[in-house]
Amino acid sequence: MRKRRGLSVVTAAVLVWSALAVVRHVPAQSSAPIVYAIPIEGMIDLGLAPFLARTIREAEETGAAAVLLDINTFGGRVDAAVAMRDTLLNSPVRTIAFVNQRAISAGALIALACDTLIMTTGGTIGAAAPVVGGGTGETQPADEKSVSYVRSEFRATAETRNRPPMLAEAMVDADVEIAGVIEKGKLLTLTTSQALEHKMADLGADTLDAALLAAGVPDAEVRIARQTWAETLVRFLTHPVMSSLLMTVGLLGLIVEIRTPGFAVPGAVGLLSLGLFFWGHWIVQLAGWEELLLVSLGVLWSRSRCS
């Protein structure tokens, strides 16, 4: 009996010691809120849209408090900005725009689509009139149809986020006149102080930490979102300059191959270039089998004409 009692005491002591050891080695879970930070720099291109969507999904899965967009851009493609705008408006996670100097053109639409808009001292937002590229690389004002569309996108976004819709329209259309703010014939661009005065921006802050503090998420664990190699490749392939180059090289390669007998280097280069072009645009949902089929039919028709 004594042996059994002694064994029980030893066993209990071992279990208690083991439990204490486990408790000592269990890492304490951080109570700090998690914020995902996405750098939005340079040109707004098609590859940014899936990157933003993936980051928001990841933030939702990890229970993040917010997704912050660190914006410093002169703009870019309207279709890319609209896709990002839709993602932001439908985000299940709180979104914060930190305009770290400038949100011009397409960047302004992205900033306005966030739940909270914070601007740094000396920042600017606006000047979002749509333009089209010319054959010589110069840009020209877009037609009235395009202006009307972009103007409506800005207004709808401002209304959704309870920002002044007329100010948003004035960033796009020079025909919009607002007494005491902007005269007719001028595009609206707001400084930080003006944006705060007219309730276009919510808060002011000079650093990322200060922006998080102002937004009500101090001492947050900031996780910088990084693009995957595939997303980086897609951004490279869908860049306007690279897209034009791939399409030009692809068509020239196939034309040379069609006009010369045999299947050699020009044809291979042409197919590879077109393949990269359509793959990149298919990833960002701007090209499907229909476009590929049309190009293939055009190549076959050209070959039949030359044979």
Q: What is the crossing angle of helices 289-306 and 240-259, to 10°? A: 30
Q: Identify which has the larger pLDDT, 140 or 208.
A: 208
pLDDT per residue as tens digits for the range 74-121? 999 899 999 999 999 999 999 999 999 999 999 999 999 999 999 999
Mean pLDDT of the chain: 82
Token pair for 14: 């071992």
Residue 237 class from Cβ within 10 Å (0-12 exposed, 13-18 middle, 19+ buried)? Answer: buried
At CA 305, angle to CA 301 and CA 307, rounded to 5?
115
**Least confident span in 4-13, 158-167, 298-307:** 4-13
CA-wise closest residue to 238 among 194, 282, 195: 282
**Least confident span in 13-27, 40-54, 289-303:** 13-27
**Distance (Å, rounded) from C-alpha 108 to C-alpha 154?**
9
CB 44, CB 71: distance < 8 Å: no
* Mean pLDDT score, 248-267: 72
The alpha carbon torsion through 226, 202, 57, 28 (nearest 10 deg) reads 80
One-letter amino acid for residue 159 of the chain: E
Domain 34-224 belongs in CATH node 3.90.226.10: yes
Q: What is the pLDDT of residue 66?
A: 98
Q: What is the pLDDT of residue 273?
A: 77
Domain with CATH 3.90.226.10 in the chain: 34-224
Q: What is the pLDDT of residue 256?
A: 75
One-letter amino acid for residue 272 of the chain: L
CA 176, chain centre distance (Å):
28
Percent of the chain's residues with pLDDT above 70:
77
Residue whose token pair is 């014939």: 185
**Least confident span in 24-28, 61-65, 232-236:** 24-28
pTM: 0.76
What confidence tier does 132 reach under pLDDT thresholds 50, 70, 90?
confident
What confidence tier does 245 reach under pLDDT thresholds 50, 70, 90?
confident
pLDDT per residue as tens digits for the range 212-228? 999 999 999 999 999 88
**In the predicted structure, residue 4 carries a pLDDT above the cut 60:** no
The alpha carbon torsion through 278, 279, 285, 289 (nearest 10 deg) reads 60
- 203 backbone dihedrals φ, ψ, rounded to 5°: -145, 165
Neighbouring residues of 182: CB distance < 8 A, sequence distance ≥ 6: 170, 176, 188
